[in-house]
Amino acid sequence: MFTTITKLTALALAASRYAQAVPLPEDVLGVPYAGISTASHEHPTTALLIVDVQYDFINGTLGSDRAYNILPTIYQLLDEHSWGMIATSQDWHPQTHVSFASNHPGHASGDSVQIPMLASRYNETQLQSLYADHCVPGTIGANIEAGVQTRLDTLLGKTPITQIHKAQNQHVDSYSAFADNQYYEFTTLAPEMRARNIDKVVVTGLITNACVYGSSVDATKFGFGVTVISDGVETTSAEDQATALEELEEWWGVNVETLAKYEASE
């Protein structure tokens, strides 16, 4: 669907099972989370979209040490900013999902296969990358990272929060928080944003050249102004990171900037 998404096959080749214990919030920042929000930046018509900050993309089957780099930035966006709405997305795959190499005999993680276009009347197909099993509901890997989840729990009742479980249809993948890769089904995210008078979206999370990319592109297609926080998104290599962010800027008109620059421009 997107040119950069094929690079995510590197994730499958490099995948490893849980190599370390699931980190608590204090494991990243060095101090326990106090549960205190000190929002000094207000964004009443902007939504914060936190994409797939799940353990399988941090230290799980598709994990990368680089993923840890973004957590302090996401914490800051939750602790020091108030938003018109916060949305979180999670991959939410059934065990039979089409993206799992385990469901394609004779294939392995890193391979690609052709899958049917669900709405096609002409037997059209779409290229599908294959990965290790990941983000299956009920597994630790599907959970949002604890430091992020704790902050979201603290904000319940204070800020509108919506949770998007994507890629539930076993027959099609979904990188975007707004729709699946074939635009066969759409989530409730865009209508919810419209209902709350949201006109801008700030995007952070994982993985830059896949679900962050897809969500950012679809946000522009729905007419939202999009900012990707460059130090709040990550992938498996500096090269893939730079390429994806450059494409988002040049091809899709997405604003890409650091959190410090975003705060300074307010």
Q: Which domain range does residue 224 map to?
A: 42-91+140-264
The pTM for the full model equals: 0.87
Per-residue pLDDT, 266 = 77
Asked whether the CA dihedral 37, 42, 45, 51 is positive or negative, the reply is negative
Per-residue pLDDT, 40 = 84
* Residue 117 belongs to some domain of the structure: no
pLDDT, mean over the chain = 89
pLDDT for 113-144, tens place per residue?
A: 999 999 999 999 999 999 999 999 999 999 99
Asked if the model's pLDDT at residue 9 lies above 60, the reply is: no
Residues with catalytic roles: 52, 166, 211
CATH number of the domain at 240, please: 3.40.50.850
pLDDT for 51-65, tens place per residue?
A: 999 999 999 999 999
Asked if the model's pLDDT at residue 5 lies above 50, the reply is: no
Q: How many structural domains comprise the chain?
A: 1
Chain centre to alpha carbon of residue 103 = 23
* Residue 180 belongs to some domain of the structure: yes
**Rg, C-alpha atoms of the chain:** 18
